[in-house]
Structure 1
Amino acid sequence: MQAPYIQLKEIRLTFDKDQKDTIRRFSLNIKEGEFISIVGKSGCGKTSLLQMVAGMKKPTSGLITIGGHEVKEPVDELSYVFQKPILLEWKTILENVLLPLQLKRKLTERDTNKAKEMLDRVGLTDAIHKFPYECSGGMQSRVAIVRALLDKPQILLMDEPFSALDSFTRDQLHVQLNELIDTYKPTVLFVTHDLQEAFFLSDRIILLGGEPGRILQEYQVPFTRPRQKSILFDQSFYNFQQDMNERLQS
Structure 2
Amino acid sequence: MNAIPSQHSIPRVTSKHIAISGVSKTFETRKGTVHALQDINLSIGKGEFVSVLGPSGCGKSTLMMLLAGLTSVSLGRIMVGDKHIDGPNAEAGVVFQQDVLLEWRTALQNVLLQAEVRKSDMAEAKDRARQLLKMVSLEDFEDAYPKELSGGMRQRVSICRALLHRPPLLLMDEPFGALDAMTRDQLQIDLLRLCADNEMTVFFITHSIQEAIFLSDRVVVMSPRPGRIERIIDIDLPRPRRLAMREDPKFSAYTRELTAIFKGLGVFREEY
Q: For the superposition of Structure 1 and Structure 2, which TM-score range results when normalised by the shorter chain?
A: over 0.9
For the structure 1 residues 179 and 16, does the alpha-carbon distance in structure 2 shift closer, same or farther, using more than 3 Å as the test? same
Spell out the pairing of 1:38-187 with structure 2 (5 A cutoff).
Answer: 38-187=52-201
Aligned AA (2:232): E
- In structure 2, C-alpha distance between the alignment counterparts of 1:64 and 1:104, rounded to whole Å: 24
Please tell me whether the aligned partners of residues 85 and 140 of structure 1 are also in contact (alpha carbons under 8 angstroms).
Answer: yes
Aligned AA (1:138): G
- In structure 2, C-alpha distance between the alignment counterparts of 1:150 and 1:14, rounded to whole Å: 33
- In structure 2, C-alpha distance between the alignment counterparts of 1:21 and 1:131, rounded to whole Å: 41
Aligned AA (1:86): V
Moved >3 Å (runs of 4+): none
Gaps of 5+ in 2: 1-12, 265-272
Matched with 2:10 is none
- In structure 1, C-alpha distance between the alignment counterparts of 2:128 and 2:236, rounded to whole Å: 34
Gaps of 5+ in 1: none
- How far did residue 9 of structure 1 move? 0.8
- How far did residue 84 of structure 1 move? 0.5
- In structure 2, C-alpha distance between the alignment counterparts of 1:69 and 1:102, rounded to whole Å: 25
* Structure 1 SS opposite 2:89: coil
- In structure 2, C-alpha distance between the alignment counterparts of 1:102 and 1:20, rounded to whole Å: 38
- TM score, norm. by length of structure 2: 0.88
- TM score, norm. by length of structure 1: 0.96
Q: Tell me how many residue pairs correspond in the alignment.
A: 250
Q: Deviations over 1:182-240 (max 9, x none)?
A: 00011110000111111111110001013311111111111233311122111122111
Asked if 1:13 corresponds to 2:43, the answer is no
Aligned AA (1:127): F
- How far did residue 106 of structure 1 move? 4.9
For the structure 1 residues 108 and 15, does the alpha-carbon distance in structure 2 shift closer, same or farther, using more than 3 Å as the test? closer
Q: Deviations over 1:55-90 (max 9, x none)?
A: 111111011111132111101111100110011100
- In structure 2, C-alpha distance between the alignment counterparts of 1:211 and 1:156, rounded to whole Å: 25
Please tell me whether the aligned partners of residues 57 and 224 of structure 2 are also in contact (alpha carbons under 8 angstroms).
Answer: no
Of all paired residues, the percent bearing the same amino acid is 38
- CA-based RMSD of the aligned residues comes to 1.4
- In structure 2, C-alpha distance between the alignment counterparts of 1:95 and 1:200, rounded to whole Å: 32
* Structure 2 SS opposite 1:15: strand
Instruction: Give the one of 19, 23, 36 matched to 1:22.
Output: 36
- In structure 2, C-alpha distance between the alignment counterparts of 1:210 and 1:114, rounded to whole Å: 41
Please tell me whether the aligned partners of residues 182 and 225 of structure 1 are also in contact (alpha carbons under 8 angstroms).
Answer: no
- How far did residue 11 of structure 1 move? 1.0
Asked if 1:32 corresponds to 2:40, the answer is no
Instruction: Give the one of 237, 243, 246 matched to 1:229.
Output: 243
Matched with 2:233 is 219
Select between 59-68 and 175-184 the one with higher mean Cα deviation. Answer: 59-68
- How far did residue 21 of structure 1 move? 1.7
